[in-house]
Amino acid sequence: MEPSGALLALRAVQKSFGAVAALRDGRLDLYPGEAHALVGENGAGKSTLVRILAGVHPPDAGTMTLDGRPLVLTGPADARAAGIAVIYQEPTLFPDLSVAENIFIGRQPQRSWKRIDTAAMRRRADELFARLGVRLDPDRPARGLSIADQQLVEIAKALSFDARILVMDEPTAALSGVEVERLFAVTRSLRDAGAAVLFISHRFDEVFALCQRITVMRDGAWVSTDRTEETSVDGVVRRMVGREISALFPRVEHVVGDTAVDTAIEVRHLTSAGVFDDVSFTVRAGEIVALAGLVGAGRSEVVRAMFGVDRYDSGEVLVAGRRLPPGRPDAAIAAGLALVPEDRRQQGLVMDLSVERNATLVRRWKLSRFGLLGFGAERRSAQTWTQRLQVKAERLGNDVSTLSGGNQQKVVLAKWLATEPSVLIVDEPTRGIDVGTKAEVHRLLSEQAARGVAVLMVSSELPEVLGMADRVLVMHEGRLVGDIPRESADEESVMFAATGSTS
Amino acid sequence: MTAPTGVVHRFFVVRELGIGLALVLLVAVTAIVTPRFLSAQSIKDLLLGSTILAVLAVGQAIVVITRNVDLSVGSVLGLSAFATGTLFVNAPGTPIPVAILVGMALGAVCGLVNGVLIAAARVPALVVTLGTLYAFRGLDYTWATGRQINAADMPPAFLRMGTATVLGIPVLALFAVVVLVVAGYYLRTFRSGRELYAIGSEPAAARLSGIPVGKRVFTAFVVSGMLAGLAGVLHAARFGTIDANAGLGQELDVVAAVVVGGVAIFGGSGSVYGAALGAVLLTTIGAALPVLGVNPFWQRAAVGALILAAIALDKVLSARIAARLRVRRARRA
Amino acid sequence: MRRSAWDIAVVVALLLFVVVAGQTIDGFGTARFWRFVALEVVPVAVIALPLALVVITGEIDLSVASVVGLTCTVFGKLWAVGVTSLPLLIVACLVLGAVLGAVNGVFVTVFGLPSLAVTIGTLALYRGLAYVVLGDKAVADYPVSWTSNAIAPIPGLTIPWMVLVVLAVAVVLGVVLHATPIGRGLYAIGNNDEASAFAGIRVARTKFWLFVLTGAMSALAGVFWTFRFASARADNATGLELAVVAAVLLGGVSIFGGRGGLVGVLAAVVLLATMRNALQLADVPANTLTIVTGTLLIASVVGPNLVTLTRDGLRRRRTKALALKGASP
Amino acid sequence: EDGDSGSDGGGGETTNGIKSGLKIAFLPKQVNNPYFTSAGTGGKAAVGEFKGTYSETGPSEASPSAQVSYINTLSQQDTDVIVVSANDKDAICGALTEAKSGGTKVVTFDSDTKPECRDVFVNQATADGIAKSQIKLISEAVGAEGGKIAILSATANATNQNAWIEKMKTELAKPEYSKLQLVATVYGDDNDQKSFQEAQGLLAKYPDLKGIISPTTVGIAAAARYLQGSTYKGKVALTGLGTPNQMRAFVKDGTCKAFALWNPEELGYLAAYAAGALASGTITGKQGDKFTAGKLGEYTVGANGEVLLGDPTTFDASNIDKFNF
Ligand SMILES: Nc1ncnc2c1ncn2[C@@H]1O[C@H](COP(=O)(O)OP(=O)(O)OP(=O)(O)O)[C@@H](O)[C@H]1O
Ligand SMILES: Nc1ncnc2c1ncn2[C@@H]1O[C@H](COP(=O)(O)OP(=O)(O)OP(=O)(O)O)[C@@H](O)[C@H]1O
Ligand SMILES: [Mg+2]
Ligand SMILES: [Mg+2]
């Protein structure tokens, strides 16, 4: 690989956090007018590389060149000045500022005397949203935006830079098909206007649809870079994991419980004003039910209300025939419910606690003897489950915040599977998870169902929904609009219901 | 403008409106009971009484907006007031503007100490400023060693500034108004001002956005110190007698004023106007209670109860707005 | 890991100070000295220990000293109107303290208001109520047996027996915090209360009871205060909140919640009292003591941070040099 | 002219019957108060005269609990006499008793404790005397037609203040003061700012107020400052207890016609001599004991172990320039 012609080139970049070598040999060439994919398992070092490019982390060793000249970044401001715009894996918005200010913070359009030109700022934000084809009010505060909306604001922010290099770390993880298409259209036009794009995703269809080159990383080191047309999904996956991957979505055959006897959880007329309305459904033991819909349909709100984290105005939730008290997650857990939430950083994990404390947080009473917790009990229990899910962590005593995104998600799963729930609710369980682990998660869910657990899965990924579910419930604008059995569920029927098209 | 914009906009206005309303109500009730409460002298006293607290509150609000807090302001005020007095004792001919500048500079130096510790050594502001609260006060004590500076030691022109009025408005209050307007305008209309809000709203994101977080926080503390310094000079002019205890315990009043004024204690939202209104409200409560004939032993309790009422009211208002925001989803299919 | 390191650091600092002061200060370390130190430690420790738990969950209670003041005056008032049963008086005060704490708790957990703001409000409110109860009077005519028993030494020692109460509180709260599911929950809440709620932890309820506990313990300190000074006045323990908060922070509890331990807090309380008494013995003026307290507080947070920062800084500089060197050829 | 010089153990020569080399510690209510700084100056001079070791220590805020800690320290340092102005008449008793049991003598000055907790109290003036003079001054200042008056005190718990206020009320009940009507007592906490605001509050509440008595040095200065800068100057009379240096400007511009105070330096001076005499065994604190206090002359211990400094001085435009404290 010759750096010649490359707009940005990285060679032998290294970065360690304490004893963890997050990046051992980072290598990358970005060319103008080209979209470049970076793929690898969870924890391969992709986000670390991005943060080095963004000036967030100084590299321990290695070189970076921009236009052939050495590039030294002392902070994010330097990276911006060098024309590098970054969309981070986790949205980084200011909840108290307006959406428009979030986009333009530090670069607000100015009028005389360096005063901020609010009208121009609002106008430009509107233009950006129009380009992305979304309707967001530039004046509303960012607080309360759904993850998808947050991601869209991040994208708008990156676009507003007119950067020479656009780095996107899993921008599509929270987006639905339509929004992904808009994003790609915009990205392509940027690319064609001469920008270099670095695109990170675990979704290969997107990678192959958008990118001209694919770089694969494994264990913090560069493995290969190929032109897209010269490689295949299989080839990429093989290089990523270093072995063959069998079928995705492996459904373990299981018997769906008999309706009359085995209703594990029943939701009756659940309503929360302005959020969702009169939602009723049941999930039987041993059944996997998918809750599908467009982003913002209110699915997460429904499952949060079921679990008791959110309050609801009316309706009821019955587990094994017994009514759950509203607003009491502890009661829900005691009744056998588990919820793997949508936002792992805010809701799934306590980032400053260790992996083992996180993994055992829900079961701390069960693990205690006479009300006391021995260290051994927590560690042993955490070990069992983190090993089963192959969590890559230096030590179980390290803060969970030091794990890569995908590994964090595995810790959340481990935490809940360990409670051996009778009803398992998962909200976007494979968001940001690499192919290998994704297959593993799917296998686990099937396995749980086979053991008689009722699984309710919220997912925005249609293949996942269609591949996994025994039954597909579809939500549209806070209402349940479809209940499609596996046999008749296909892409068309689900999307039809989800977009609210009346038949 | 679109409908949601109206709601959002009202949301910001309403916070200050709530406090303003409480203030008007309080004044009205008191004036009905004792009409003299609205006499020129009494209004002048109210304005004068609010001035120092308002200046401190503006500085504090700037710091609190960045998700920090400055507990050392009372001690800085004490140091600066004593310095002003000492300056006049040792150099009787010092022009007033010079004295003001000296006081502000001294305050800025104290703020600089806070700022360096907080921004460079990256330690929590509450701990650092609790430490400098003690340290600065100790310096003040050591310096004063039980001395007192009396009205007779200060130039009459300086003391006149403490009581003089322009068109019925006390000169000191004009200082506060200027400080308020400048700070308010700056926070609203300049990039660095908005960045203070960003920092308070989400410090990690601020760093990722390339905002010079350390520099901005540092500046906020220097400004807060400088305003506390100015407040010290104003204190000297107004009270005429200065010992080492000037401003003792004032930090809690200031934080209370800021919080009552609707500045979120965890940063990111609120305005200096609100903070100043909070200061005026607290002062007015203090002045109105004796006028209303409240037993002096009940006054402190009443102040506490009113602080609680004010923050609870603010919460109710903002919760209502948030609910409205939720129902009118910003994004509709 | 870092937490226990800080605990140890404070303990080491305490021991070091004792050794150095023992060599250099006349009259330091006598039985009488430790008695006086212990008497000062008791009320601060009794409040600091539960307050540490509150701070670990990310909240704060600045009203503690006012709770002390109010319980003192209520104690005095009840005595003055003829309640002479000691157990009854003590129970009444503890209940009152719990109620005052519960008021804080309700404002914070039910209304969702920031505890810093709420307790600044109740700081004024409770102190004000203390004035309402006793006004400008002081009640001081308690039986001598009460007042002397409260500060009586452990038989054979000079140390007051109340120290045993403090130790008991420390052990109970320490075990709860460090070795029970409840403690795990407290740390989780302090770090991220939303994620804690998703894990089934009853965040609001937990915080509420911690405020109640802190209120009740402050009331206990108030009873002790009344006896030790044989005087119930509305201004008792004014300003004590800053001393208590200073001890909690010096003890290594993070003001942002989620970090800290009780060993450090207890060591910090003892360190502060020992130091103040020792320096007074060494004729260091009160004004200088004020400066020392402040500086110590700052040093306690700046010190550890400075070490990490300089280490990082050095590494960064080296890296930058490397990067430039690597790129130039 | 020494009384019955009792114990004479060890110490060398004596001055006025006082042993040399005594360790005498002044413990004011708080160290940052100019009034106590003056008292300390007097005390130091006296201790110097009888060749003792003078020290001054104390808390930076006027709280009884902080004072207790200093009493403990002083008793550990084997101080011969603690000369203390009590922040609370009961709260520091335990500590003083403990100190006395260790052989330390205790003199209180300015503000007393319960009599059993100390040996001698050096009183600046009797409560009666102060109350009489204050009421007389305000009555003269307000004039013949009388009117509403108010008191601006220090803290609500100050023992001496409350005693004086009680006596003033008794005094006001007398027929010759029937035209004066006490309408309010407010507390400035000996904090300049608070006192200032309290004065302001008084006038807002009672616009027809005719006079303010502020029997505390902080309060009177603050009230004077307020009146001077307001429209009430000259219309509302002011008197109280204050130091000449503080009040000079206000007496000259007519804000305050006259006020009173004892000389705090003399108070400290006398307290130090009482301490010396006590430690030397010249006096024991029982009624009738006599001792000589240097340039102030001879004093006799009265009932309850009290030594009275003398009548307060009244300061007005005619004499104020003769004083400097
Ligand atoms: N701040 C940190 N401290 C310690 N270790 C870290 C830190 N940040 C990342 N790591 C470690 O570095 C490795 C690489 O992480 P990184 O986030 O770059 O992975 P990734 O490729 O982006 O994975 P994913 O696809 O899951 O997002 C992981 O093992 C992670 O645990
Ligand atoms: N706190 C809030 N305040 C205002 N609006 C909100 C709030 N929370 C969610 N919303 C809005 O409610 C709608 C539902 O969002 P939500 O993310 O729950 O939908 P979802 O179907 O679960 O989508 P996803 O697939 O992203 O999880 C969104 O339009 C979002 O903007
Ligand atoms: Mg990543
Ligand atoms: Mg969702």
Return the ∠ at Cα A409 (arms to A403 and A412), rounded to 5°. 105
Domain count, chain B: 1
Write the CB contacts of C172 (distance below 8 Å, at least 6 apart in sequence). Answer: none
CB B323 within 8 A of CB A271: no
- Whole-angstrom CA distances from A117 to B187, B190, C175, D286 are 14, 9, 58, 85
Q: Which whole number is the average pLDDT over C80-86?
A: 89
Over residues C237-285, the pLDDT tens digits come to 888 888 899 899 888 888 888 888 999 999 999 999 999 999 988 988 8
CB contact under 8 A, B256 and C120: yes
Residue ID of nearest Cα to ligand 2 atom 3 = A144
Residue % of chain A over a pLDDT of 70: 94
Structure tokens given for B225? 């110190």
3-state secondary structure chain D: CCCCCCCCCCCCCEECCEECCCEEEEECCCCCCHHHHHHHHHHHHHHHHCCCEEEECCCCCCCHHHHHHHHHHHHHCCCCEEEECCCCCCCCHHHHHHHHHCCCEEEEECCCCCHHHCCEEEECCCHHHHHHHHHHHHHHHHCCCCEEEEEEECCCCCHHHHHHHHHHHHHHCCHHHCCEEEEEEEECCCCHHHHHHHHHHHHHHCCCEEEEEECCHHHHHHHHHHHHCCCCCCCCEEEEECCHHHHHHHHHCCCCCEEEECCHHHHHHHHHHHHHHHHCCCCCCCCCCEEECHHHCEEECCHHHEEECCCCEEEECCCHHHCCC
- Least confident interval from A69-83, D4-18, D122-136: D4-18
CB contact under 8 A, C114 and B133: no
A24 touches ligand 1 (CB under 6 Å)? no
Q: Fold for C3-327, please state it.
A: ABC transporter involved in vitamin B12 uptake, BtuC (1.10.3470)
CB B275 within 8 A of CB B57: yes
Write down the pLDDT at residue B183.
96
CB A202 within 8 A of CB A441: no
- Residue ranges covered by each domain of chain C: 3-327
Task: Report the candidate in B5, B194, B134 with the shortest Cα–Cα distance to residue C287.
Answer: B134
Amino acid letter, D37: T
Task: Report the candidate in C34, C313, C11, C2 with the shortest Cα–Cα distance to residue C158.
Answer: C34
Q: Tell me which of B191, B213, B216 to substitute to probe the interface with A (most A C-beta atoms closer than 10 Å).
A: B191
More confident residue, C315 or A490: A490
CB C137 within 8 A of CB C72: no
| CA dist., res. C167 & res. C162, Å (int) | 9
Structure tokens given for B300? 């402190």
Mean pLDDT rounded to a whole number for chain B = 86
CB contact under 8 A, C285 and D156: no
| CA dist., res. C248 & res. D272, Å (int) | 42
Write down the pLDDT at residue C204.
94
Residue ID of nearest Cα to ligand 2 atom 24 = A295
Residue C197 pLDDT exceeds 90: yes
CB contact under 8 A, D193 and B235: yes
- Give the position of tokens 């507003």: A160
- Whole-angstrom CA distances from B153 to B105, B163, B230, D230 are 22, 17, 20, 20
Task: Report the candidate in C230, C222, C282, C194 with the shortest Cα–Cα distance to residue C43.
Answer: C222
Amino acid letter, C23: Q
Residue C295: Cβ-neighbour burial (10 angstroms; 0-12, 13-18, 19+):
middle
End-to-end CA distance of chain C: 44
Over residues C101-139, the pLDDT tens digits come to 999 999 999 988 889 889 989 999 999 999 999 887 888
Residue spans in chain A of domains classed CATH 3.40.50.300: 8-93+145-241, 245-335+456-503
Judged by a CB distance cut-off of 8 A, whether residue B136 touches chain C is yes
| CA dist., res. B119 & res. B129, Å (int) | 12
Say if B320 falls within a structural domain.
Answer: yes
Say if B2 falls within a structural domain.
Answer: no
CA of A298 to the centre of ligand 2 (A): 6
CB B246 within 8 A of CB B77: yes
Structure tokens given for A90? 């986790």
Instruction: Identify the CATH number of the domain in which residue B19 sits.
Output: 1.10.3470
| CA dist., res. A61 & res. A263, Å (int) | 58
More confident residue, D37 or D6: D37
D25 beta partners: D55, D82
CB B111 within 8 A of CB B222: yes
Structure tokens given for C289? 């003591």
Structure tokens given for C15? 């021991």
Cβ atoms within 10 Å of C11's Cβ, excluding its own: 17
Write down the pLDDT at residue A466.
87
Q: Write down the CATH superfamily of domain A8-93+145-241.
A: P-loop containing nucleotide triphosphate hydrolases (3.40.50.300)
Q: What distance in Å separates residue B7's CA from the closest CA in chain C?
A: 23
The residue to mutate among A13, A15, A20, having the most atoms of ligand 1 within 8 angstroms of its beta carbon, is A20
CB C230 within 8 A of CB C147: yes
- Least confident interval from A9-13, B71-75, B173-177, B249-253: B249-253
Q: What distance in Å separates residue D195's CA from the closest CA in chain C?
A: 17
- Whole-angstrom CA distances from B245 to B101, B130, D146, D226 are 22, 17, 36, 19
Could you say which of C126, C136, C297 has the minimum Cβ distance to residue B130?
C297
- Least confident interval from A263-277, B280-294, C65-79: B280-294
Over residues D208-228, the pLDDT tens digits come to 899 999 999 889 988 998 898
| CA dist., res. A144 & res. A147, Å (int) | 9
Cα torsion A45, A46, A51, A52: sign? positive
Give the architecture (CATH level 2) of A245-335+456-503.
Answer: 3-Layer(aba) Sandwich (3.40)
Highest mean pLDDT: which range of A448-457, C45-54, C299-308, D91-100 = C45-54
Mean pLDDT rounded to a whole number for chain C = 88
CB contact under 8 A, C32 and D64: no
Over residues D255-295, the pLDDT tens digits come to 899 999 988 888 999 999 999 999 988 888 888 888 888 88
| CA dist., res. A312 & res. A330, Å (int) | 16
- C78 band by pLDDT with thresholds 50, 70 and 90: very high
Q: Which whole number is the average pLDDT over A341-352?
A: 87
Task: Report the candidate in C304, C328, C316 with the shortest Cα–Cα distance to residue C3.
Answer: C304
What is the complex's ipTM, to 2 decimals?
A: 0.82
Over residues B186-244, the pLDDT tens digits come to 999 999 999 999 999 999 899 988 899 999 999 999 999 999 999 999 999 988 878 88
Indicate the DSSP class of residue A229: G
CB D192 within 8 A of CB D222: yes
The residue to mutate among B8, B329, B331, having the most atoms of ligand 2 within 8 angstroms of its beta carbon, is B329
- A385 band by pLDDT with thresholds 50, 70 and 90: confident
- Whole-angstrom CA distances from A98 to A92, B12, B65, B190, C138 are 14, 11, 15, 15, 56
Judged by a CB distance cut-off of 8 A, whether residue C231 touches chain D is yes
Q: What distance in Å separates residue C225's CA from the closest CA in chain D?
A: 9
| φ and ψ at residue D205, rounded to 5 degrees | -80, -40
Structure tokens given for C63? 């009203």
Chains D and B touch (3+ CB pairs under 8 A): yes
CA of C272 to the centre of ligand 3 (A): 46
Amino acid letter, A259: T
Q: What is the dihedral of CA D299, D303, D306, D309, to 10 degrees?
A: -50
Residue C77 pLDDT exceeds 50: yes
Q: Name the closest ligand to CA A149.
A: 2
CB C223 within 8 A of CB C90: yes
| CA dist., res. D263 & res. D246, Å (int) | 13
Q: What distance in Å separates residue C169's CA from the closest CA in chain B?
A: 26
Residue B6 pLDDT exceeds 60: no
D105 beta partners: D81
pTM of the shown model: 0.85
- Do you know the residue count of chain D? 325
Over residues D116-129, the pLDDT tens digits come to 889 999 988 888 88
3-class state of residue A476 by DSSP: strand
Q: Which whole number is the average pLDDT over A337-341?
A: 94
- The kind and range of the H/E element at C35 are helix C31-56
Q: Quick one: closest CA in B to A273, which residue?
A: B327
CA of A143 to the centre of ligand 2 (A): 11
Write down the pLDDT at residue A342.
86
Over residues B29-41, the pLDDT tens digits come to 888 988 878 888 7
Return the ∠ at Cα C289 (arms to C287 and C295), rounded to 5°. 110
